[in-house]
Amino acid sequence: MSSYRTMVVKIGSSLLVNPDGGIANAFIRDLALQASHLRGSGWRLVVVSSGAIACGVPVLHLDARPSDMPTLQACASVGQCVLSAIYDKAFSAAGLLSSLVLLTRHDTARRTSYLHARDALVRLVELGVVPVVNENDTVSVEEIRFGDNDTLAALVACLVSADLCVTLSDIDGLYTTNPAIDPTARFIPVVERIDGAIIAGAGDSSSAVGTGGMITKVRASRILMTAGIPSVICSGAEPRALVRLARSERIGTLFEPAAPRTEIAPRKLWIALGDAAHGSVSVDPGAACAIREHGSSLLPVGIVAVRGEFTTGEILDICDDEGLVIARGRAGAPSDELKLAAGRHQDEIASNRLLVALANRPAVHRDEMIVFT
């Protein structure tokens, strides 16, 4: 067992760029000082940082965030250099060594690359370095993008077996509805289970410089809860938030797992976080109960609908009859076969020459599936 605890902090673009477009140097300096304080109290910090594109926009003298991919990539390339230099200067002044780690889904969708990324991050933390992780927006295109750094932060937290994952945002936590548009919205201090109501109440981003929203934060927290990793969403304006959270102070919204951190097989974490879903299946209540309560495989008879086009081995979301994603797994057959097999019993499948290959295997095997809490 390691002699330190690990905290992953995700920082949104709205905290790194001032309203006038300038970089929030004071915020980054304070972050470095908190990292130094955490080090003295037995914590190691990993930073998942947005902001490369937002930092590149003013440097390239653009009036607003561009919409075309080449210009976005150019902004990321310029902005990442600027942002990395500021992080390096701030952490050096606090007596800490930082490093830059850039990832895309291409680096994690393949299991071998996922494990290499894990080993590199764990070794950096062991060596006392503060890794600053970001999506490699300069080379990312839609097919290999994480799309939001909330998902990336959850991935990193699982990779390094974090003890806590903190999202610093421009809002102070989770509400029953979006407080920016609903004055009756109520603050939620603790979440012990993420259900359909929690997901439905999560609003979209109100930031002009970010790409995520509360819904992506909630989905990321749900995966972390499955891994037994507590997470917090709180305001980046909260004084010394990371230091106070390390002392177990209640700030923002705590997503508290039902069980302590569990050793989920790396393969299942890769299924949950390493690749985007290529499609989805909806299942009937009986199949949903078998998956949730008994850890069963998904058989074609339990499927009521198939969406998207995918091949054998690609990642699928498994949804209940209310549309809530209850699990994710690798498809045991391509989408066209599952559409034909949906709702059919195994003996019926065995007698159909078009589907006979599915007779002796599930649509998604339980060993190739992660069930969300």
Residue among 206, 229, 99 at smallest CA distance from 158: 229
252 plus 302 within the same structural domain: no
Question: What is the reported pLDDT for 93?
Answer: 98
Question: What is the reported pLDDT for 219?
Answer: 86
| Domain-located, residue 143 | yes
> What CATH number corresponds to the domain at position 358?
2.30.130.10
Whether 201 has a binding-site annotation, put simply, is: no
76 plus 105 within the same structural domain: yes
243 plus 303 within the same structural domain: no
257 plus 307 within the same structural domain: no
Whether 112 has a binding-site annotation, put simply, is: no
Number of domains in the chain: 2
Whether 329 has a binding-site annotation, put simply, is: no
Give the position of tokens 């302590």: 260
Question: What is the reported pLDDT for 18?
Answer: 84
Whether 204 has a binding-site annotation, put simply, is: no
> What CATH number corresponds to the domain at position 199?
3.40.1160.10
Distance of alpha carbon 38 from alpha carbon 6, whole angstroms: 10
| Domain-located, residue 161 | yes
Q: Residue 55, Cβ neighbours under 10 Å: how many? A: 27
81 plus 135 within the same structural domain: yes
206 plus 354 within the same structural domain: no
Question: What is the reported pLDDT for 274?
Answer: 67
Question: What is the reported pLDDT for 209?
Answer: 37
Whether 271 has a binding-site annotation, put simply, is: no
Question: What is the reported pLDDT for 293?
Answer: 92
Give the position of tokens 């549309």: 323
| Domain-located, residue 119 | yes
Whether 104 has a binding-site annotation, put simply, is: no
Report residues of the chain scoring pLDDT below 70: 1-2, 105, 109, 137-148, 203-212, 260-266, 274-275
Whether 188 has a binding-site annotation, put simply, is: no
Last residue of a domain, one of 236, 267, 298: 267
Per the rule left: phi > 0, alpha: psi between -120 and 50, beta: everything else, 277 is beta
Q: How many CA atoms lie within 13 A of 209 on its CB side?
A: 27
161 plus 86 within the same structural domain: yes
Whether 217 has a binding-site annotation, put simply, is: yes
pLDDT, one tens digit per residue, over 128-158 is: 999 999 887 666 554 434 556 888 899 899 8
260 plus 316 within the same structural domain: no
| Domain-located, residue 147 | yes
Last residue of a domain, one of 232, 267, 302: 267
| Domain-located, residue 299 | yes
| Domain-located, residue 272 | no
How many angstroms separate the most distant Cα atoms in the chain? 71
Whether 89 has a binding-site annotation, put simply, is: no
Assess contact for 198 and 191: CB atoms under 8 A. yes
318 plus 184 within the same structural domain: no
273's CB contacts (< 8 A; 6+ apart) are 108, 151, 154, 155, 158, 223
DSSP structure class, residue 101: E
Question: What is the reported pLDDT for 205?
Answer: 38
175 plus 318 within the same structural domain: no
Concatenated DSSP letters of 31-43: HHHHHHHHHHTTE
pLDDT, one tens digit per residue, over 216-233 is: 899 889 889 988 999 999
| Domain-located, residue 89 | yes
Domain around 227: 5-267
DSSP structure class, residue 326: E
Last residue of a domain, one of 237, 267, 297: 267
Whether 199 has a binding-site annotation, put simply, is: no
84 plus 185 within the same structural domain: yes
% helix / strand / coil in the chain, to the nearest 5?
Answer: 40, 20, 40
Whether 88 has a binding-site annotation, put simply, is: no
Residue among 10, 17, 5, 141 at smallest CA distance from 69: 141
100 plus 139 within the same structural domain: yes
Does residue 264 sit in helix, strand or coil? coil
Residue among 98, 101, 95, 92 at smallest CA distance from 129: 98
Does residue 282 sit in helix, strand or coil? strand
| Domain-located, residue 242 | yes
